[in-house]
Amino acid sequence: MATKFLLTFAICRLIVTVGLTLDPAELLSLGVEGQLSLDPADVSKASLDFGGTQSAEPLAVLHPASAHDVARLVKSAYESAQGIGVSARGHGHSINGQAMTTNGLVIQMSGSRGSRLGLLKPAQPIVSEKYMYVDVWGGELWIDVLKSTLEYGLAPKSWTDYLYLSVGGTLSNAGISGQAFNHGPQISNVYELDVVTGKGEVLTCSEEQNSDLYYGVLGGLGQFGIITRARIALERAPRRVRWIRVLYSNFTTFTEDQEYLISQHGQTQKFDYVEGFVIVDEGLINNWRSSFFSPRNPVKISSLKSDGGVLYCLEITKNYQDSNAHTIDQEVESLLKKLNYIPASVFTTDLPYVDFLDRVHKAELKLRSKNLWDVPHPWLNLFVPKSRIAEFDKGVFKGILGNKTSGPILIYPMNKNKWDEESSVVTPNEDVFYLVALLRSALDNGDETQALQYLSNQNRQILQFCEEAGINAKQYLPHYTTQQEWINHFGEKWDKFSRRKMEFDPRHILATGQGIFTPTLNPSGASW
C-alpha cells in the first residue's frame, strides 16, 4: 500500500511539475511492484557516472522489483505521445554518460535501495550444476555472481578486470579481461537472455530463439533492449592462482611473446590469463596495484635499458587446484622458458582465485581512502589491429604520452575467432587485435599533465593520430558526437544495426545517452 502511494505521488509530481506527457491514467495503472522515485538523491545519482565528465538529469528513477516492472515502464514510454528516453543503469560505471537520459526515465537495475525500501531483490541467481550455467538478474554485479556460483565450486569462464559491474552492463559492451584470448569475451559465454525491447515486450532469446535480438543485444550498447536475465556459462572454479609479472624493454619482443601465448588457446599447457601494461612513468610501476611489488625492493625504469624510455610488463596467471599444487612450480617454469623477458624481472605471488579476480577492488579501496576514486576518468579504450600495433607504440607510447601519465595503460592481444561476428560489437578485421586501454584519472592538484582538459586533449590527439596514420582502430566503450561518426564506427555492420533498431526500438527511446539515435515524436499517440 505504501509503495503504491509513493508511486502515485511520484507520478502526480511528474505530471504537475515537469509536464510529463505519458498518459496519467496509464501510468497510474502500471501496477509496478518497485518504486518510481523523485528523491533528489536518486535523481542526482542517476545524473552522474564513473567518467565524471558529463551529467544529465532524468525526470525520475525506477527501482524495479521484476522484469515486468521494467516492461511496464518501457511500454508506457513507447506508447506516449512524445518520445520519452529510458535508460538502464547498473553500477554507474559508464564513462561518457552512456547510461544517462535527459528529461527521461532511468531504470536503476543495480543497487541496495530496493532492499532499504523493503522490496525484494528482483531475482536471486539460480545455478544449474548439471548443465553448468547460472541464471542471473541483469542488474546483478559480477562479484555477487561469483559468490553465488562458488557455493557450487563453479565460476563464470570470462571476466572483466573489475567485478563491481552489472551483468547487463558488460554484456551490452562485450566484457573483456585476460581470459578473452581463450574463452572469448563475456558475450561469447552467454546461452540465453530475457530482454525487454523498446516496445515493452519481454522476449527470451538465444542462438535458436529470437536470434536477431540475441545477437543484437550482445554488445549492442543497450540500443535494442534491457537485459533482465542472462544465462551464463560456468566451469569448475580453480582454488588458487600463480600470478606472474615479467618486464620487457623491447616492444617487438613483448608483443611476440604475448601473441605466442594467446596462440596456445585450447591447449592444456598454457597460461590462463594474459594481459600487459605499458610503463611510461617511473613511479607507476610501483604505485599501480602496488601490493604486487615489494615496496622494499622498488623497480626502477632507469636501472633497465628501456626502449625509448618505456617499459612493458607482461601479466600472466596459471590456475591450479589443491590436488595439483605440487606440480605448479614445474608447469610455470616450463611455460616461462619459452618467453624472452628481462631475466631479473620476474615477480610472482600466489593467492586464492577469488582474491585474484577481485584484485582491482582492493586498489579501489586504497584510492577511496585517499579521495582519489571519485574523480573524472577520461578513459580511452581502443581495439588496434595487430599489423599496426608497433606503429601505435611509436606514435603514442613513445610519442604523444611523453613520460607522464596518470593511470594504468593496458595492452594485450585477443583472438578474433573467439568473437561472434553476428554480435553488435565492432572489432578490427584481423585474426589478432590488441586492446589498448588508457585508464587515466584527472586530478586537480596543480599538475597540468594530470588535469582533465590536458588528458582529454591527449585522447583527441591519439584518435587523430590513428586516423591520419590510417590505423583502423575501433573504440571499445565507444563515444561519438554525431551519427555519421557512429556510421563510420559500425562500418559494414551499420545497416544491420540500424535495421535491428527499427525492429526492436522503433521510437528510439532506449539508451539515448549513447547519442546514436534521436527519439522520435508521435503526436497522434498512435502505436508504431
Based on the residue annotation, tell me whether 93 is a catalytic residue of this protein.
yes
Instruction: Identify the active-site residue in 69, 140, 275, 505.
Output: 275
Helix axes 494-504, 483-490, angle to 10 degrees: 120
Based on the residue annotation, tell me whether 431 is a catalytic residue of this protein.
no
DSSP symbols for 35-87: EEE--HHHHHHHT--TT-S-----SEEEE-SSHHHHHHHHHHHHTSSS---EE
Per-residue CA distances from 353 to 16, 135, 146, 414 (Å): 53, 22, 11, 22
Question: Residue 152 is which amino acid?
Answer: Y
Instruction: Identify the active-site residue in 68, 91, 93, 183.
Output: 93
Based on the residue annotation, tell me whether 275 is a catalytic residue of this protein.
yes
Instruction: Identify the active-site residue in 23, 39, 57, 161.
Output: 161
DSSP symbols for 116-143: HTTPPPS---EEETTTTEEEEETT-BHH
Q: Counting every residue, how long is the chain?
A: 528
* Torsions phi, psi for 138 (to 5 deg): -60, -25
All cell numbers assigned to 365: 579501496
Cβ partners under 8 Å of residue 34, min gap 6: 3, 62, 63, 64, 65, 66, 69, 114, 119
Per-residue CA distances from 420 to 19, 163, 215, 291, 496 (Å): 44, 23, 9, 37, 15
Alpha carbon 268 to its chain centroid, in Å, reads 29
* Torsions phi, psi for 385 (to 5 deg): -60, 145
Active-site amino acid positions: 93, 161, 275
